[in-house]
Structure 1
Amino acid sequence: MARVFPEGRLVYGMQLPVQSQSSIYAEPWEAGAGPADLVAVARAADRSGFGYLASCDHVAIPRRLAAAMSTVWYDPVATLGYLAAVTEHVRLLSHVAIVALRHPLLSAKQYATLDHLSGGRLILGVGAGHVQEEFEVLGVDFERRGAVLDECLDALRAALGPEEFPEFEGARFGFRDLGQLPRPAQERVPVWVGGSSAPAVRRAAVRGDGWLPQGDPRDRLPDRIARIRQLREEAGITEPMEIGAITEALYVGEPGWDTGRRTLTGKPERLAESLRGYAELGVDQIQVRFRSRDRQELVDQITAFGAEVGPLLND
């Protein structure tokens, strides 16, 4: 079993700012930010009881998507490895690694090293990807990316296991008599599968230890969760699975500035009451995002959430 967090408790984590700057969620101040800002945020989350910090994955953004997605996408292994050295407790999540873009032995080398160096704090989050040009330039069949991902996951299970010389034989990848050290610090690296399409939900159910939905609103989660449970039961999988959700944007307290009509604001008790609703839907961990105008405001929000909201989530 590769459960990360205690069963029966609602855990909170966050995606890092700065390392990905899509116009959908990046704050204006992030455009001028850099490594020192990432360190400050990571340390604040580590002190404030956050379960994980997450980093995204894109290799190259085509010009047609650059205005919306931006071309700022830090490498997740480098980013999480950098922050592993300045944190102690918080888990390190790739949300999500597009592992089909790389040979599974290459991914295994990178993520095993990250887990080893961080003392076993890796959560490997994976997804199918959606940018066709990335696949084409790296020589991967975009139309078959789901099948490639499925095989990559099976290969990674072998390559991230305890054996120095792992073995795997699949339709696209195969390896044996090739040793990789260091091994991961964890006996079994937890794999969380991202995506909300029907194939992604099925993949999460039968191949994942956890599910990372892609921004599903609350009213869609019950059906998705029920489907995952049904698929696991049909597959004879009895191990518990960690279900995630991405919350509404948050601001602890009264902001005094326009945070947008969909932002959940107010006293800690109000935020906690609303967020506890996710647990009632069957969610185990929530990914929170705070509105902020600069790094210090974000650090203050992280600190306030950890001190004032987090302790109320499991009352």
Structure 2
Amino acid sequence: MPVPSEERLAYGIQLPVQSQSTIYTEPWEASAGPADLVEIARTADRAGFDYIACCDHVAIPRRLAQAMSTVWYDPVATLAHLAAVTERVRLLSHVAVVGLRHPLLTAKQYATLDHLASGRLILGVGAGHVEEEFAALGADFRRRGAVLDETVDALRAALGPDEYPEHHGKLYDFEGLGQRPRPAQEHVPLWIGGSSAAAVRRAALKGDGWLPQGDPRDRLPAQIATLRRLREEAGLVASLTIGAITEPLYIGTPSWDVGRRTLTGAPEALAESLNAYRAMGAHQIQVRFRCRGRAELTDQMTAFGAEVAPHLD
């Protein structure tokens, strides 16, 4: 898995098609489906991507549907499907809203996924933001931060090596209940998503990694400094994988309007720009590409792996 080191800047991608918010979805994704996801995942596997990621929402209320859409593939089912057609790329939930489910249920699903995928899971978790979704499932929206804090602790126990995990907390209490299969990994990496002060603190004190919520470049250094300070104050010495989400990318000179925020140009120039994230203290970047169809996307991904990645620090 990508970890803090002097090695290269790792790179992953949030899959298209599986979530279709208007913030980032390309028009062609509306008519895409499983075959497209399979080919994109296989391309990521071949092109050296460290992970492919899938989002999590159970149900979208009408008031948000126009912006968010109602297309949100289930992350466990989707990542398990793609695990079967890939070999090395890791499988990231970015992010699982684990407060919607009992931690033993979450552990059962993701332990099975890790077992089936031969230890390729990275469990990304977050607090969630859709109140109606929580209400429909009987989950506590107002206390979702506190729920997430304890859920992380419960998941640490439930995804550990013990067949009969044990956790005694204010919200969840279990022991003497066996779950197999166990995860293939001795320690499932648990990355925490979000850019609020509470999320950054949670990532610093409870996470193996931090998944920001699209912080721009000028905000990242302060966030990373806060992460490091909080960990130092808590006496934590274990590594923390720090992430960043890049601007949209297009390798080469586009013949169509890719938007003013998109980074374009020669591979070496793009790599030089992306290496700034490493200089800030990031260990992995999540990239996405402007594209008009699956073929253009997979071409961009292949070019990134072959021509940009070798120049990443």
- TM-score range (shorter-chain normalised) is over 0.9
Q: Which residue of 1 aligns with 2:129?
A: 130
SS in structure 2 at match of 1:218: coil
For residues 1-315 of structure 1, what are the structure 2 equivalents within 5 Å?
4-5=2-3, 7-8=5-6, 9-314=8-313
CA contact (8 A) 1:150 1:203 kept: yes
The residue identity in structure 2 corresponding to 1:254 is T
Please state how far the C-alpha of 1:140 moved relative to its aligned partner.
1.1
Please state how far the C-alpha of 1:248 moved relative to its aligned partner.
0.2
**Residues in 2 aligned to 1:5 and 1:146: alpha-carbon distance in whole angstroms:** 26
Please state how far the C-alpha of 1:217 moved relative to its aligned partner.
0.3
**Residues in 1 aligned to 2:75 and 2:28: alpha-carbon distance in whole angstroms:** 21
**Residues in 2 aligned to 1:228 and 1:26: alpha-carbon distance in whole angstroms:** 31
Stretch moving more, 134-143 or 17-26: 134-143
**Residues in 2 aligned to 1:311 and 1:5: alpha-carbon distance in whole angstroms:** 18
Deviation string for 1:253-273 (max 9, x for gaps)? 111000000000010011000
The residue identity in structure 2 corresponding to 1:76 is P
CA contact (8 A) 2:54 2:95 kept: yes
Normalising by structure 1, report the TM-score: 0.98
Q: 1:143 to 1:20 in 2, by over 3 A?
A: same
Q: For structure 1, list consecutive stretches of 5 or more residues without a partner in the other structure.
A: none
Please state how far the C-alpha of 1:17 moved relative to its aligned partner.
0.4
CA contact (8 A) 2:18 2:72 kept: yes
The residue identity in structure 2 corresponding to 1:165 is Y
Instruction: Tell me which stretches of 4 or more aligned residues in structure 1 moved more than 4 Å.
Output: none
Q: CA RMSD in A?
A: 0.7
Q: 1:6 to 1:150 in 2, by over 3 A?
A: closer
CA contact (8 A) 2:76 2:109 kept: yes
SS in structure 2 at match of 1:26: coil
Please state how far the C-alpha of 1:275 moved relative to its aligned partner.
0.2
Please state how far the C-alpha of 1:112 moved relative to its aligned partner.
0.2
Please state how far the C-alpha of 1:224 moved relative to its aligned partner.
0.4
**Residues in 2 aligned to 1:10 and 1:181: alpha-carbon distance in whole angstroms:** 35
Deviation string for 1:198-229 (max 9, x for gaps)? 00000000000000000000010111001011
Please state how far the C-alpha of 1:240 moved relative to its aligned partner.
1.3
The residue identity in structure 2 corresponding to 1:297 is E
**Residues in 2 aligned to 1:7 and 1:60: alpha-carbon distance in whole angstroms:** 39
The residue identity in structure 2 corresponding to 1:56 is C
Deviation string for 1:39-97 (max 9, x for gaps)? 00000010000000000000000000000000000000000000000000100000000
Please state how far the C-alpha of 1:6 moved relative to its aligned partner.
6.2
CA contact (8 A) 1:4 1:190 kept: no
Please state how far the C-alpha of 1:4 moved relative to its aligned partner.
4.0
Stretch moving more, 56-65 or 5-14: 5-14
Report the number of matched residues.
312
**Residues in 2 aligned to 1:46 and 1:58: alpha-carbon distance in whole angstroms:** 25
SS in structure 1 at match of 2:247: strand
Identity of aligned residues (%): 73
**Residues in 1 aligned to 2:173 and 2:32: alpha-carbon distance in whole angstroms:** 42
SS in structure 1 at match of 2:248: strand
The residue identity in structure 1 corresponding to 2:51 is Y
Please state how far the C-alpha of 1:5 moved relative to its aligned partner.
3.7
SS in structure 2 at match of 1:226: helix
**Residues in 1 aligned to 2:35 and 2:22: alpha-carbon distance in whole angstroms:** 22
Deviation string for 1:17-38 (max 9, x for gaps)? 0000000000000000000000
Please state how far the C-alpha of 1:236 moved relative to its aligned partner.
1.1
CA contact (8 A) 2:98 2:125 kept: yes
